[in-house]
Amino acid sequence: MKPQSYLAALALSLCAPVALAQAAKPQPAAAKPAASKSAEPSAELKRAQDIVAGRCALCHGAEGESASPIFPRLAGQHPEYMAKQLADFKAGRRKGTMNDQAAELTDEEMKALGAYFAQKKPKAYTVADQDIAAVGRYIYHKGNSYSGVASCASCHGATGDGTAQLPRIAGQHAAYTEAQLKEFNKRERTNDNAIMHAIASKLTELEMRAVAVYLSGKL
C-alpha cells in the first residue's frame, strides 16, 4: 500500500505546532458520560462492571486508567478493537498475560467489556521530555520518507483516535506503545501483524521511543 502523496498532503495539513502545545497543556478532569447517570445500566453493562471489578481493575484500573505502564490504558478504546483483541487472546492468536484472563469470556462478555471501557473518558497526560516528543510528532504526522515509514496519522488519525478496526493509540503509556512496536517488529505480536510489522520494521529504536512518548501526551 502506497498512499504516499495523499499522505504527504494530509501530513502537511495536520502538523501544526498546535499538537505539541495541546500535549503539554493539562486538561481538566473528564466528566462522566451522561448516559451512565440517567438510566439503569443494561444487563450487559452490569455484567461487564462485575467482571471489571473482580478482575480487570486489578491491572487496568476500574476506569481503564492503569497506573503501571506494563498494563495498557483502555479508557476510550474502540469497543470493536477491544472485543477482537480479547477474542484473539482467548484463541491464543495474541500471546501474553491476557491469555488466562480471556480464557473463559464469552463473545457477549467481550463485547460488553469493550463497551464498558469505551465509554470511559480518557485522561490527559503531560510529557516531560519535549525534545524527544518533537521527534515523535514529526514521525507521527509525516513518517520518514528516507526509510519509507508511512505517517502514523494516515491510519490512526491526526488525533490518534483510531477507528473501529484501528486502535486508539493517543494517551497510551509510552512504555507499552514502545513495547508493542518492538513486538510487531520481532513478529512477537502474532495477531494481525502484517501492517504494523511493515511499519515497525522500518523504525529505529529512537523513532519508536520518540513516537511513543509523543503519543503518551496526546488526548
- What are the residues binding ligand HEC (CB under 6 A)? 51, 55-56, 58-60, 70-72, 74, 82, 85-86, 96-98, 101, 113, 139, 149-150, 152, 154-156, 166-167, 169, 177, 180-181, 191-192, 195-196, 199, 203, 211
Query: Mind giving me the DSSP string for 97-161?
Result: THHHHHTT--HHHHHHHHHHHHTSPPPP---S-HHHHHHHHHHHHH-BTTTTBPPTHHHH-TTS-
CB of 126 to ligand HEC, least distance (A): 19
**Taking Cα atoms as reference points, which of 160, 159, 136, 147 lies closest to residue 211?**
136
Q: Are 185 and 197 in contact (CB under 8 A)?
A: yes
Q: Which is nearer to ligand HEC, 75 or 82 (CB)?
A: 82
CB of 55 to ligand HEC, least distance (A): 5
Nearer to ligand HEC, 124 or 211 (CB): 211
Q: Min. distance of Cβ 28 from ligand HEC in angstroms?
A: 25
For the bound state, the minimum distance from the C-beta of residue 171 to ligand HEC, rounded and expressed in Å, comes to 11
Q: Please identify the residue of the shown chain whose CB is closest to the bound ligand HEC.
A: 96
Distance CA 17, CA 137 (A): 9
Q: Which neighbouring-strand residues pair with 144?
A: 149
Closer CB to ligand HEC, residue 38 or residue 144? 144
- Which residue carries 484472563 as its cell? 101
Dist CA 114 CA 125 (whole Å): 23
Task: Name residues whose C-beta falls within 8 Å of residue 54's C-beta, 6 or more positions apart in sequence.
Answer: none
State the Cα–Cα distance between residues 52 and 24, nearest whole angstrom. 31
Nearer to ligand HEC, 36 or 97 (CB): 97
CB of 40 to ligand HEC, least distance (A): 22
* Closest CB to ligand HEC among residues 77, 124: 77
